[in-house]
A and B are shown apart, each in its own frame.
Chain A
Amino acid sequence: MRILIADDDRVSLRVLQGMLQDWGYEVVAARNGTEAWEVLSAPGRPPLAVLDWVMPGMDGPELCRRVRALGEDSPIYVILLTARGDPGDIAAGLGSGADDYVVKPFDGAELQARLRVGERILKLQGDLADRVRELEEALANVKRLQGLLPICAYCKKVRDDKNYWQRVEQYLSERLDARFSHSVCPTCYERHVRPEIEKLRSRRRASEKGRGA
């Protein structure tokens, strides 16, 4: 996974880069806040960032605020890494939009564990975004059958949005993943089909009688 690191101290930056590379990350290094913002605001930005608080150009919290203002289309998980460990600083750092906060001098195993948390959150966000997209697509299909449908009180044809009158089954089959097979329900069988059959039978009996006579 790609990760941006930003620190104006070259030694600290190199230490962090070495650790992250050992852990398998593809590291993009920035020497100040302005460079970091160039990376974070460009397309294809890394999903993870570890930012120093105090940097010339733009400090860590300002970067966090800008990252949050980018919106959630491609979320970035940001860890502030800084010597400022007062509760007030931690609250201000998280308040600026950082996802996590690690105080220097930091323990390598702790930073690695916190980065794994970040990866887990990013995966969850990605999975959720996929699900929302799927649901939105499904909803777009459902929407086609919402609203008021004008239907003829006599012939039961339905008027579509282009002002054409269509048979109900045609109207629905154009808007559903379903096809109609014609059949007869028991009530209609009794009301319509049986009388026709009876009529035919009596007509046949009458003609047989006529031939016999």
Chain B
Amino acid sequence: MSESERPVDLAAVLARLNGDRGLLTELAGLYLEDEPSLVAELEAAVGRHDAEATRRAAHAIKGSVANFAAARAQAAALALENAGRAGELSSAPALLDTLRAELAAVRQALRDLAAVH
């Protein structure tokens, strides 16, 4: 699997953090704590067909995973953000499933990281 296909591109993240592995572990911890509420907000927005709230919640998730160079999760969040912006939520449940799967992979990668350190 190439770096861009992995759930998170640790080499790119570490380069951005000046090689600070301790900080990377701290960021992973913060993300794992905050992700459930971000996802819950998105699920609620999709559930009540609220396009603006969907756009906002997907945008927040995209911004948070971007810190881990998580290209696939970012793309999945962006698809939902765009659907919300367009006010077109018919595809939102399917997009949400895709995003959930990508986020699960990100979580796993970050947990592995925490276990290593």
CB pair A10–B30 under 8 Å, yes or no, is yes
The complex places the Cα of A105 from the Cα of B70 at a distance, in Å, of: 12
CB pair B27–A14 under 8 Å, yes or no, is yes
The verdict on A126 contacting chain B, using a C-beta distance below 8 Å, is: no
Q: Which of A54, A104, A108 has a CB less than 8 Å from the CB of B66?
A: A104
CB pair A11–B20 under 8 Å, yes or no, is no
The verdict on B100 contacting chain A, using a C-beta distance below 8 Å, is: no
The complex places the Cα of A9 from the Cα of B35 at a distance, in Å, of: 10
CB pair A54–B34 under 8 Å, yes or no, is no
CB pair B34–A10 under 8 Å, yes or no, is yes
CB pair A105–B66 under 8 Å, yes or no, is yes
The complex places the Cα of A105 from the Cα of B71 at a distance, in Å, of: 12
Q: Which residue of A lies closest to B17 (CB)?
A: A18
The verdict on B63 contacting chain A, using a C-beta distance below 8 Å, is: yes
Contacts of B23 in A (CB 8 A): 14, 18
The complex places the Cα of A14 from the Cα of B30 at a distance, in Å, of: 9
The complex places the Cα of A104 from the Cα of B69 at a distance, in Å, of: 12
The interface on chain B, measured as residues whose beta carbon lies within 8 A of the other chain's beta carbons, has a size of 19
Scan B51-62; emit 1 where CB is below 8 A from any A CB, else 0. 000001001101
Contacts of A105 in B (CB 8 A): 66
The verdict on A83 contacting chain B, using a C-beta distance below 8 Å, is: yes
Q: Is the interface of B mostly helix, strand, loop or mixed?
A: helix
Enumerate A1-55 residues with CB–CB distance to B below 8 Å: 8-12, 14-15, 18-19, 22, 54
Contacts of A12 in B (CB 8 A): 63-64, 66-67
CB pair A22–B18 under 8 Å, yes or no, is yes
The interface on chain A, measured as residues whose beta carbon lies within 8 A of the other chain's beta carbons, has a size of 15
Q: Which residue of A lies closest to B16 (CB)?
A: A108
Residue of A8, A10, A54 most packed against chain B (CB within 10 A):
A10
The complex places the Cα of A15 from the Cα of B67 at a distance, in Å, of: 8
The verdict on B5 contacting chain A, using a C-beta distance below 8 Å, is: no
Q: Which residue of B lies closest to A107 (CB)?
A: B16
CB pair B59–A83 under 8 Å, yes or no, is yes
Q: Which of B18, B59, B64 has a CB less than 8 Å from the CB of A54?
A: B59
Q: Which of A15, A54, A104 has a CB less than 8 Å from the CB of B27?
A: A15
The complex places the Cα of A34 from the Cα of B16 at a distance, in Å, of: 29
A residues contacting B by CB (< 8 A) are 8-12, 14-15, 18-19, 22, 54, 83, 104-105, 108
B residues contacting A by CB (< 8 A) are 16-18, 20, 23, 26-27, 30-31, 33-34, 56, 59-60, 62-64, 66-67
- Show 6 residue pairs from A and B whose CB-CB distance is below 8 angstroms, ordered by the A residue: A10-B30, A10-B34, A11-B30, A15-B67, A54-B56, A83-B66
New A-B contacts (5) at CB < 8 Å, excluding given A15-B17, A19-B17, A83-B63: A8-B60, A9-B64, A11-B64, A14-B30, A18-B20
